[in-house]
Structure 1
Amino acid sequence: MARIDTRNSSRYWRDPHVPGLSCLAADFTSHEYAPHSHDAFVVAVTEAGGSEFKSRGSTEEASAATLLVFNPAEPHSGRMGWSKRWRYRGLYLSKPAIEAVGRSLGIGATPYFTANAFKDEALVASFLALHQALDDGRDALEEHELLVSSFGVLFRRHGSGGEPIPAAPRDRELAGLVQALMNERYSEELTLDEMGTVVGLTPFQLIGLFKRATGLTPHAYLTQVRLKAAFRELKAGTPIVEAALAAGFCDQSALNKHFKRCFGITPLQWLRAARG
């Protein structure tokens, strides 16, 4: 259940799919954080405005181009500073969540971060997409895929120490086995762990393998398989709601969203055009 702060808009919730993962969406105009620390590993991205924060004895800025990272138990404070508004999203990973991410990456020890702010716009966009997917809460596979890929890139690109993330085998045959699984069981709630187990890969390795072999992530490829299945159902005269469920989408709204993203029109518009 989200908690609402009426003085400054903020929402806090725990993700049901990843034990130990909590999320915060905040929109502040008059807030100041006293020096504090978290038991959790913290990642934050700014959507609008910004703030100043103090950590490691220096003052830095939070902005839309900066990814903020705080190690567990690392003291820091913050205030609005130069900006009249700060809208941001935060991810808090306690030990169970960190261990779950580590298993998905195939590592036993997560890196330590020697800095708190990273100018990495691509990674900022990746974590923003992850948080928005968690906020939407409608597609567990997409959430897990974004979680694994975002933290995998963060650890590999900016972390110090820990363990190197194993490279995925460059083998199209392995991708073909997972594709066959998708084509056979697209109507089920397939997970990255389940698909990776079929070919002996971690979720992070599976994502890398799919990108090289198909140019798509596993979630994007499975979505294409499901859209093709929905096409077949619609052509056969199946009602849109039933076609969505038969193709593996959680409801008609999910089918509409992905259909329009790929084809520029909704299934209903496509049906009308086909009938015309």
Structure 2
Amino acid sequence: MAAERELVKAWRPAIKGIAEVLHARFTEHAYPMHVHDSWTVLIIDDGAVRYDLDGHEHGALSKLVTLLPPYVPHNGRAADAHGFRKRVIYLDRAELGEELIGPAVDHPAVVDPELRRCIDRLHGALISPGGELEAESRLAVIRERFLRHLSRMRRDDPADPRLARQLRELLDSRVRDGISLDEAARLLGRHPTHLIRAFSREFAMAPHQYLISRRVDRARHLLLQGLPASTVAVEAGFYDQPHLTRHFKRILGVSPARYVTGRT
């Protein structure tokens, strides 16, 4: 019965700056730690979500707008047995800029009723035929309000790259082909154990978990481009289609086929 109440619909609109749109309801699925390569703009229509971001627990509530930055691991689960219903817009990284990741990590919850109303109306425009101009206009307003919010919260972070970030960049460059821990250690000049500890401490997940999460993220984009799951599995770096399906369902709560079609 619970599975019948879990619905997912995802698509890629023809709007510049929007990488993907997701409407979903979950009762039992709990997202494990994972990452996206885009900004996640989340509003909750029913229920509530608890999630961890950068080692701190947060709550996504119906009156808030939640903004999760790219590349920062997070999870998510229903706050109670009632479950939750959400709508998500994934914005291209360039829409807000990576220099604002730090402020978003510190302040992912935005209290701005007008911003929430604008996001709600953007979703309405995205599902309405002929609503492209309205969607573009609302996206411009949303982007401006986010930039204003994040600029107020901006902190001066040290610019020197950390070992964990170097490893993350290396993993990002090898999403499809992968890289062994020994090769990463040789390229970065550190012991493999030191790499694992530094990465896990900084990003709250092991390097191999991060790589799987990035592959699932890549698979989402390819599926929404219309590629068959068998091709997506190879292009995203999975051993085969069952390998893709297992991790895709573990992280996103539905199979690749259900993610695209929205069927139960």
State the TM-score, normalizing by the size of structure 2.
0.51
Does residue 139 of structure 1 match 2:128? no
Cα shift at 1:19: 5.8
Q: Which residue of 1 aligns with 2:58?
A: 60
Q: Which residue of 1 aligns with 2:32?
A: 34
SS, match of residue 143 in structure 2: helix
| Counterpart pick for 2:142 among 150, 170, 173 | 150
Q: In structure 2, what is the Cα distance between the partners aligned to 1:9 and 1:138? A: 26
Cα deviation, 1:188-244, whole Å, max 9, x if unaligned, reads xxxxxxxxxxxxxxxxxxxxxxxxxxxxxxxxxxxxxxxxxxxxxxxxxxxxxxxxx
| Counterpart pick for 2:84 among 80, 86, 90 | 86
Cα shift at 1:6: 6.0
Q: What one-letter code is carried by the residue in structure 2 that aligns with 1:122?
A: E
Cα deviation, 1:125-178, whole Å, max 9, x if unaligned, reads 21111122112242211010100001111211234459xxxxxxxxxxxxxxxx
Q: Which residue of 1 aligns with 2:177?
A: none
Asked if the contact 1:51–1:83 (Cα under 8 Å) also holds between the matched residues in 2, the reply is no
| Counterpart pick for 2:113 among 115, 118, 121 | 121
4+ runs deviating over 6 angstroms: none
Superposition CA RMSD, Å: 2.4
Asked if the contact 1:49–1:83 (Cα under 8 Å) also holds between the matched residues in 2, the reply is no
Does residue 18 of structure 1 match 2:16? yes
Q: In structure 2, what is the Cα distance between the partners aligned to 1:36 and 1:6? A: 25
Asked if the contact 2:10–2:21 (Cα under 8 Å) also holds between the matched residues in 1, the reply is yes
Question: Structure 1 pair 138/33, CA: closer, same or farther in 2 (3 Å)?
Answer: same
- Number of residues of Structure 1 aligned to a counterpart in Structure 2: 149
Asked if the contact 1:34–1:78 (Cα under 8 Å) also holds between the matched residues in 2, the reply is yes
Asked if the contact 2:47–2:79 (Cα under 8 Å) also holds between the matched residues in 1, the reply is no
Paired-residue identity, % = 25
Q: What one-letter code is carried by the residue in structure 1 that aligns with 2:73?
A: P
Question: Structure 1 pair 94/154, CA: closer, same or farther in 2 (3 Å)?
Answer: closer
Higher relative contact order (CA 8 A, sep 6+): 2
Q: Which residue of 1 aligns with 2:196?
A: none
Cα shift at 1:94: 2.8
| Counterpart pick for 1:111 among 100, 105, 113 | 100
Q: What one-letter code is carried by the residue in structure 2 that aligns with 1:127?
A: I
SS, match of residue 132 in structure 1: helix
Q: In structure 2, what is the Cα distance between the partners aligned to 1:79 and 1:17? A: 29
Where does the alignment leave 5 or more consecutive residues of structure 1 unmatched?
103-107, 163-276
Cα shift at 1:109: 7.2
SS, match of residue 37 in structure 2: coil
Structure possessing the higher radius of gyration over alpha carbons: 1
Does residue 46 of structure 1 match 2:44? yes
Cα shift at 1:110: 6.3
Cα shift at 1:75: 0.6
Q: What one-letter code is carried by the residue in structure 1 that aligns with 2:111?
A: K
Q: In structure 2, what is the Cα distance between the partners aligned to 1:77 and 1:153? A: 25
Q: In structure 2, what is the Cα distance between the partners aligned to 1:156 and 1:34? A: 31
SS, match of residue 138 in structure 1: coil
Q: In structure 2, what is the Cα distance between the partners aligned to 1:109 and 1:80? A: 29
Q: In structure 1, what is the Cα distance between the partners aligned to 2:31 and 2:5? A: 14
SS, match of residue 125 in structure 2: helix
State the TM-score, normalizing by the size of structure 1.
0.49
Q: What one-letter code is carried by the residue in structure 2 that aligns with 1:40?
A: S
Q: In structure 2, what is the Cα distance between the partners aligned to 1:124 and 1:86? A: 17
Question: Structure 1 pair 63/20, CA: closer, same or farther in 2 (3 Å)?
Answer: closer
